[in-house]
């Protein structure tokens, strides 16, 4: 399974990527929504994991733009957020995210959620 991982916190991004790679996922790492959009040109993920709060283009705006692209409406997106608020879950529902991971979460939680997407 190909995963586009958009997370601006370097250490978290590296840890998430390492966990996924060690479990058979092909991962493209980016640090903001603009890089995530640019990556879609040559990397065609099966799922996108994106943080909400990122510089340049945040996760919600990235998802809006993804949804407007050919094939983007069907792309499974999992939102990662430190804000376990009703507003964050409402935003996730509004943009059609398939899941929300509230940080901090452990590697087993990440793998379990990815397994639910078909890995």
| DSSP state letters, 49-85 | EEESS-SSS-HHHHHHHHHHSTTGGG--EEEEES--S
- Expressed as residue numbers, the domain containing 106 is 2-116
User: How does pLDDT run across 58-117, given as a tens digit for each residue?
Assistant: 999 999 999 999 989 999 999 998 877 777 778 788 888 998 898 889 999 999 999 888
Q: What is the CATH number of the domain that holds 26?
A: 3.40.50.2300
Q: How many structural domains is the chain composed of?
A: 1
Which residue reads 């990556």 in tokens?
Answer: 39
Q: What is the DSSP letter of 102?
A: E
CA distance 107 to 39: 24
- Taking the model in full, what pTM does it have? 0.92
Return the pLDDT at 119: 47
User: How does pLDDT run across 23-43, given as a tens digit for each residue?
Assistant: 999 999 999 999 999 999 999
Share the mean pLDDT of the chain. 91
How large is the angle between the packed helices 10-22 and 107-116, nearest 10 degrees?
60
Residue 17: which residues within 8 A CB-CB, separation 6 or more?
Answer: 5, 27, 29
Which residue reads 């590697």 in tokens?
Answer: 107
């Amino acid at each position: 399974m190909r995963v586009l991982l958009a997370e601006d916190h370097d250490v978290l991004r590296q840890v998430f990527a390492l966990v996924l790679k060690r479990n058979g996922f092909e991962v493209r790492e980016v640090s903001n929504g603009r890089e995530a959009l640019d990556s879609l040109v040559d990397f065609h993920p099966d799922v996108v994991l994106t943080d909400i709060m990122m510089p340049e283009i945040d996760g919600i705006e990235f998802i809006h733009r993804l949804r407007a692209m050919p094939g983007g409406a069907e792309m499974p997106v999992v939102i990662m957020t430190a804000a376990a608020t009703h507003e964050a879950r409402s935003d996730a529902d509004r943009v059609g995210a398939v899941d929300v991971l509230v940080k901090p979460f452990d590697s087993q939680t990440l793998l379990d959620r990815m397994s639910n997407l078909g890995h």
